[in-house]
Copies of this chain bind each other. A is one copy, B any other.
Amino acid sequence: GCTRKLGMKICGFLQKNNSMDERSRMVKNLLSCDNSGGEARFRRTEIDFSNMFARDLLPAKNGEEQTMQFLLEVVEILTNYIRKTFDRSTKVLDFHHPHQLLEGMEGFNLELSDQPESLEQILVDCRDTLKYGVRTGHPRFFNQLSTGLDIVGLAGEWLTSTANTNMFTYEIAPVFVLMEQLTLKKMREIVGWPDGEGDGIFSPGGAISNMYSVMIARYKFFPEVKTKGMAAAPRLILFTSEHSHYSIKKASAALGFGTENLILLKTDERFAFISLFSVPPLQGFVPLFVNATAGTTVYGAFDPINEIADICEKYNIWLHVDGAWGGGLLMSRKHRHKLSGVERANSVTWNPHKMMGVPLQCSAILVRERGLLQGCNSMCAGYLFQPDKQYDVTYDTGDKAIQCGRHVDIFKFWLMWKAKGTVGFEQHIDKCLDLSAYLYNKIKNREGYEMVFQGEPQHTNVCFWYIPPSLRGLPDGAERRERLHKVAPKIKAMMMESGTTMVGYQPQGEKVNFFRMVISNPAATRSDIDFLIDEIERLGNDL
C-alpha cells in the first residue's frame, strides 16, 4: 500500500512547492512508513477522487496528473489482488447467489445510469468486482482447464490493452503481426511439420479453432461450397469420438453439416477411437473430416493419432487434431509421445491459454497446407487490404480470418515464451503432470475413493468418486447410484460457500457425477492437493 502512495505524495508535495512545515511533516510520515495499513491513511487526504470524473482524465486539458494518479490507484487495487491471490490464507471466492449480487451489496450496484459516477465510486466498483469474483489464479483453484495467473503474461495483457490495436493489418499492428507469424512458425516446428512450414492464426478460443478446421477441410475438398453453398457438395460426414469436445458438434451445426452428420465414435476412457471401422458402411455419403482429440476434456485421454492417420490417408480424409487441452504436452520431451503422429495431421488446435498458463484468450489453429485459410475466408475488402500499400501486403493477415477485427492474443504468449524459454514451459508441464500422478497415487487405494477409470492418467485429469461413509456399505445398484450422483454437487456447493477450493464435477454417459480434478496452475503444490482431499473429506464425511 504505502510505496506508491508515498512516492506520489512526495512528488505532489514537491511540485506544489509547499511550505517547509509541510515538507518536514511529509518526511516524517515517510520515515515512519512501514508498508502496511498505509492505504486508508493517505488516499483520502491527498487525492480526492470523489470530485473527479472520467471527463477530468486525458484527453482532458491538464488531465495528465489525474490520469496517472487514477491509473496508479487502479494498479494498487490490482497488485493487492495479485498478492492475495497467491496467499493461501485468502479464499478462492466469496460466493453469492445471482439475486444477492443483483440486489446490490453495500455500495456495489450493478445498474447503469444516465449520469456519471465519480472516480472514487469507479475505484470502489473495481475493488468490489474483484471481491465478488473468483480467484482463478489461486493455488487451490482447480475448476477449469485454464487456471493460474502468470505475471509476465499478465504484464503482456496490460501492455496489449494499452496498445489497443487490431490484428487485421501490418499497418496498425506491425510488431504483433510479426510476433504472431514467428510464434505460429515455432509452434508448427514443434508439431513437426518440416521447417515449420504451413499456416495458422490465433482465434478467440478452441471452439473457433476447431470450427476453422472443419471449414478448411470443406474448402480443400469442395471449394465450390464457398460460393454455391452446401448444395454444391454431396452429403458430407464428419467423425469424432464420443468423448471429444462439444465444439466439434457446434461447428457441424453452425457450418451447415448438421449434427446428425457428425458421427460420434465409441471409445474407452483411456484411448478414444476403438476403430473407425465400427462405423456402418456409408452409402451416398462422403467422409470428409476426422477429429482426433489430444487430451479429452473430462478424462484427458489421447486418441491414437497414428492409427487414425493411417485410415485418413487411405481414404483421403482430412485429419484434425484437437490439442486444445493436450497440445501443451508437445513442449515436454517426457510427455510429447502422447501426441505421436500429430505431424501427420492436416490441422491442429492448440490453446496456450490452457496447459501453458497463458492468460485468456490464446488459441491457435495450425494448418499444414499454406493458402487454404486465405482461400477459404478471403473476401478482399478494399478498405482494409489495399494492394497498393507501401509495404509487403502479404503481412496483412486479416483476410484469413472469419473475424474482421481480431484481438491481439499473441503478445502475452510471445512475452512469456521469451521470459520462460521453451524449457520453462516444459518444466511447468512436467510439474503439473507430476502433481496429478501424486494425486492419483494418493487416492487410488484410499478408503472412500473410487477411480472413474483405471491406470495412471495420461494428462493431468484425475477423475474420481468420493464415497461418503454412509454409502460405503451399500451394494452397487440404483439406490447407491442415485445417492452417489448427489454427492459431488453437494460437496461442490459447500466448497463454494466456504470458498476454500474449487474443483469440477460432471456425469459422463452412464457414470453418475464424479469429480474431475485438473492441474494447470503453476502455483499448485502437493500441499494444495492434500488440502483438496482433506476438504472433500471434511465436507463430504457426513453426507
Contacts and interface: CB of A to CB of B under 8 A. Distances in A.
Contact of A171 (B81, B132, B143, B377): B143
A132 B35 contact: no
Given A207-B405, A386-B505, A101 B178 contact: yes
Contact of A414 (B10, B112, B206, B508): B112
B161 A158 contact: yes
A449 interface: no
Interface string A419-459: 11111100000000000000000000000000000000000
A256 B376 CA distance: 12
A157 interface: yes
Interface string A161-186: 11111100011111110110011001
A130 interface: yes
A34 B15 CA distance: 7
A268 interface: no
B35 A522 contact: no
A345 interface: no
A98 B170 contact: yes
Given A207-B404, A228-B258, A419-B53, A163 B133 contact: yes
A67 B117 contact: no
A95 B486 CA distance: 62
Interface string A380-418: 111110101111100100000111111110010011111
A372 B125 CA distance: 33
A79 interface: yes
Given A7-B6, A54-B424, A158 B75 contact: yes
A176 B133 contact: yes
Contacts of A157: 157-158, 161
A208 B360 contact: no
B229 A256 contact: yes
A298 interface: yes
A228 to B, nearest CB: 4
A59 B126 contact: no
Interface string A230-271: 111001000000000111011011111111110000000000
Contacts of A163: 129-130, 133, 136
A507 interface: yes
A9 to B, nearest CB: 8
A525 B8 CA distance: 31
Contacts of A403: 204-205, 207-208
B513 A388 contact: yes
Given A182-B112, A360-B165, A14 B33 contact: yes
A405 B23 CA distance: 53
A317 interface: no
B134 A174 contact: yes
Interface in A1-15: 2-8, 10-11, 14-15
Interface in A145-162: 146, 149-152, 154-155, 157-162
A180 to B, nearest CB: 10
Given A159-B129, A172-B144, A178 B102 contact: yes
A35 to B, nearest CB: 5
A12 to B, nearest CB: 8
Contact of A98 (B178, B231, B381, B523): B178
A152 B120 CA distance: 12
Contact of A298 (B79, B205, B250, B383): B383
Contacts of A227: 253, 258-260
Contacts of A116: 418-421, 423-424
Contacts of A6: 6-7, 10-11
Contact of A377 (B5, B75, B133, B250): B250
A137 interface: yes
A71 B82 contact: yes
A230 B231 contact: yes
A211 interface: yes
A508 B386 contact: no
A34 B16 CA distance: 11
A121 B354 CA distance: 26
A8 B79 CA distance: 14
A250 B257 CA distance: 17
B249 A379 contact: yes
Contacts of A165: 133-134, 136, 360
A374 interface: no
A415 B10 contact: no
12 contacts: A3-B7, A6-B11, A67-B82, A116-B419, A122-B155, A136-B164, A157-B161, A164-B359, A229-B252, A231-B235, A250-B379, A297-B383
Given A54-B424, A204-B407, A253-B379, 12 more contacts: A14-B33, A54-B150, A59-B139, A129-B175, A132-B174, A134-B171, A158-B158, A227-B253, A227-B259, A249-B379, A250-B402, A254-B255
